[in-house]
A and B are shown apart, each in its own frame.
Chain A
Amino acid sequence: MASSTISSNSTTFIKKDVGLSAFSSSPSSFSVPKTKRRNSRKIVSVMAPQQSPRSPSTTGSVKTAMTMTEKILARASQKPQLSPGENVWVDVDILMTHDVCGPGSFGIFKKEFGQNAKVWDREKIVIIPDHYIFTNDERANRNVDILRDFCTEQNIKYFYDIKDLGNFKVNPDYKGVCHVALAQEGHCRPGEVLLGTDSHTCTAGAFGQFATGIGNTDAGFVLGTGKILLKVPPTLRFVMDGEMPDYLLAKDLILQIIGEISVSGATYKSMEFVGSTVESLTMEERMTLCNMVVEAGGKNGVVPADSTTHKYLEDKTDVPYEPVYSDEQARFLSEYRFDVSKLEPLVAKPHSPDNRALARECKDVKIDRVYIGSCTGGKTEDFLAAAKVFHASGKKVKVPTFLVPATQKVWMDVYSLPVPGCGGKTCSQIFEEAGCDTPASPSCGACLGGPRDTYARMNEPQANVIVKLVCVSTTNRNFPGRMGHKEGQIYLASPYTAAASALTGFVTDPREFLQ
């Protein structure tokens, strides 16, 4: 069924008089050689040049249809019109950094703008220690101190500090995983431009904004100027329709897509997710969808803002925002359509997020552990989902099952929210009864390995034991060594699939327990 959920609201962006712009910029002075950056063997159709129906001089302002991403960047660069391939200076609404990349970014900022330089806007920078927190690694601990020193010096408004590493709960400001914290603290708003020194910054696209990851040098530049040079990406559109089966989660949808287009299928492109299924997703599920856009090489992902978005943001931000939507006539590089009702639970087998397989076809894969956590699969709803499977089974897990709530809020939800349909039990109760590990202190944890003493890290097997540690994980990457040891085998999966696998000790389709 046709799904067009895009309202043809093309006048929602603010037009500014380009001629009075204080900053000169020469956006269109670069040609785009056809040979550049072809990324995979699949040749996707190249966008046709825009055909303006009438010349602007005769009609005044003629707007050619734009996609959501093009509109957001147009507004942020004070241009009435943008096309893919243009390079523009864009105003940044929020810059986020964390303990791994913050210190390096600050170092560059000071070297380039001076030791006494001040950041461009102390309220638009959000500093979130989350990666290497609960560790004895001295450099890691020092990096959090560096964040603190900078925030104090610059009077940064949003710094989610942690001082007492022994007990996260006594740190009132500490949040945890940056991408989840950004959403929970109301920093993600439709129509805005959000940058972060982390590849999964694309998660925030779930709020209908342009969000992407950058490196230290770019971040140092933004710290001083509040601007960044960006190339406007073309958009791939993913239309998902059909009622979401009750054994599927957003993780399965994005694994389906990445498996379809490969880890470079969306390189330099925007991924737009629309359709009745997408509309039915909660904000956290939309975040999961956008989170793994980078695993397909995508520059950013977007989900159009709607009542679900507004409701989520109601109690979290009072900063006004203005959503934008793709025009009906907007041109997309490609469109992919999925009938979600026909999809099945998936995994991404070692060692690539595009190594897609049906969970049920991997049922002979014996596993050693299960990890439920990260910005991808460690949110409140991810734990509710896992708890549902454990409760349905009523049995105990057969392998060590590590639970790492993404943020303090998620941790509290795990301990306080009753899981629907489970007789009033909380996630934590269900997890305990199932024999899972106690939910750990909130952080990125072992998703990316980290220092050697990181909880749930996949470390070297004991001497003389030939064991390839096999882990089913709700995280986002499974390249060699991702969670620690190079020989570790990581199967990426949804929380449903992860929980089901924990119960059997093999990769398991959650329908074993949910139907």
Chain B
Amino acid sequence: MAASTASAALSGNPNLTSSHKPHASLSPHSCLRFSTAISRKFPFKSLTTIPFTTATTAASTRRSTTVTASSTSFHGLCYVVHDNIDTDQIIPAEYLTLVPSNPDEYQKLGSYAFIGLPSSYETRFIEAGELKTKYTIVIAGQNFGCGSSREHAPVALGAAGARAVVAESYARIFFRNSVSTGEVYPLETEVRICEECRTGDVVTIELGESKLINHTTGKEYKLNPVGDVGPVIEAGGIFAYARKTGMIPAQTA
């Protein structure tokens, strides 16, 4: 089955193995489509996972690598959930004692991602005994991330190794937190792809073309433009955006 072959190829899930996460210097696209490059993790988030980078400011980390729009894509297995997946299912409250800005606890948080899903989800997001997920992309229905404002929700998904969520619609605070943290890229489709994709399908997201390709089914889907948050994502998150627009001073080392 395609999925198992793919999973073998993807076991070296790029965003999990290296401790250094490449950070996009975002190409200055002025249009609001997310053709702007983003290699998943915003710079300031990197500060939590690269403790050895001393005197690193968000800006300098971002300048360390440049990823252009045409080269940004997400590729991997997808994990499919349905409508109204609330934050208690993404990360149950008992794990909220973990502080996401603490690197060790950040990793631990990731290991509990989606542990709250009911047992009707027979294939689990993270297999027993594992700390990371083998699914790069989460596919969801409507109102993904509803419920609590806990930032632990997108953080857990990102820490587990997911890179993007493709949902029909999002709850407000979850979407906002995803953009602010850069943990997972929140994408939207018009089509109900949670009914057309299965967990384990091999999927590619081409950001530059606003496209999602399901290699297992052979279908392609158009992704919605990222909208108002475009400039925030383009800049690299809320802090970077604020610095760029002069709202707060540039960070000094």
Residues of A within 8 A of B (CB): 23-26, 29-33, 35-41, 85, 87, 89, 100-101, 103-104, 106-108, 111-112, 131-132, 137, 139-140, 142-143, 146, 197-199, 201, 213-218, 221, 224-225, 227, 229, 231, 263-264, 267-268, 294, 297, 299, 352, 448-452, 477, 479-482, 484, 486
User: Which chain B positions have C-beta within 8 A of A268?
Assistant: 172
Contact in complex: B100, A216 (CB < 8 Å): yes
Point out the residue from B48, B93, B100 that lies within 8 Å of A449, measured CB to CB. Answer: B93
Instruction: Out of B146, B181, B225, B242, name the residue touching A215 (CB < 8 Å).
Output: B181
With both chains docked as a complex, state the minimum distance between the C-beta of B232 and any C-beta of chain A, in angstroms.
7
Establish whether residues B170 and A103, one from each chain, have CB atoms under 8 Å apart when the complex forms.
no
Q: Which residue of chain B is the closest to A137 with respect to CB atoms?
A: B97
Between B32, B180, B225, B238, the greatest number of chain A beta carbons within 10 A of the residue's beta carbon is seen for B180
B149 touches A215 (CB 8 A): yes
Complex-state Cα separation, A106 to B149, whole angstroms: 16
Chain B residues with CB under 8 Å of A481's CB are: 88-89, 92, 116, 118
Chain B residues near A214 (CB, 8 Å)? 149, 173, 176
Contact B247 A25 (CB under 8 A): yes
Q: How many A-B residue pairs have CB under 8 A?
A: 201
Which residues of chain A have C-beta atoms less than 8 A from B32's C-beta?
A: 30-31, 33
- Nearest Cβ on chain B to A116's Cβ, whole angstroms: 12
Contacts of A482 in B (CB 8 A): 88, 93
A103, B238: Cβ atoms under 8 Å? no
Q: Does B58 contact A (CB under 8 A)?
A: yes
| B binding-site residues for A, Cβ under 8 Å | 32, 44, 47-48, 58, 84, 86, 88-89, 92-94, 96-102, 116-119, 142-143, 146-152, 169-173, 175-177, 180-181, 188, 190, 224-225, 227-228, 230-232, 237-239, 241-242, 245-248, 251
Residues of chain B contacted by A137 (CB below 8 angstroms): 97
Contact A227 B58 (CB under 8 A): no
Assembled-state Cα–Cα distance A213/B172 (Å): 10
Which 5 residue pairs spanning A and B have beta carbons closest together? A107-B101, A215-B151, A213-B149, A139-B97, A215-B177
B44 — which chain A residues lie within 8 A by C-beta?
Answer: 108, 111-112
Tell which of A87, A104, A294, A477 touches B228, judged by Cβ atoms closer than 8 Å: A87
Least CB distance, A203 to chain B, in whole angstroms: 13
- B235 CB → nearest A CB, Å: 11
Q: Given known contacts A23-B247, A107-B102, A197-B149, is B190 in contact with A35 (CB within 8 Å)?
A: yes
Identify 29 residue pairs between A and B in the complex whose beta-carbon atoms are under 8 Å apart, listed by A's number: A30-B228, A30-B230, A33-B32, A35-B224, A36-B228, A103-B101, A107-B99, A108-B44, A199-B148, A199-B149, A216-B100, A216-B101, A216-B177, A218-B180, A225-B248, A229-B232, A229-B238, A229-B241, A231-B228, A263-B146, A267-B169, A294-B147, A297-B171, A448-B148, A449-B93, A477-B147, A479-B86, A479-B89, A486-B116
Docked-complex contact A263 and B143, CB < 8 angstroms: yes
Contacts known (A32-B228, A35-B224, A111-B47); A486 close to B172, Cβ less than 8 A: no
CB-CB < 8 A to A85: which residues of B?
Answer: 228
Q: Which residues of A contact B147 (CB under 8 A)?
A: 199, 294, 477, 479
- For the complex with contacts A24-B245, A104-B99, 16 further pairs of A-B residues with Cβ separation under 8 Å are A25-B245, A32-B227, A35-B224, A37-B169, A39-B170, A41-B142, A89-B247, A104-B101, A104-B151, A112-B251, A139-B97, A449-B92, A449-B94, A477-B86, A479-B86, A486-B118
Known contacts A30-B230, A479-B88, A482-B88: does B100 contact A104 (CB below 8 Å)?
yes
Contact B149 A221 (CB under 8 A): no
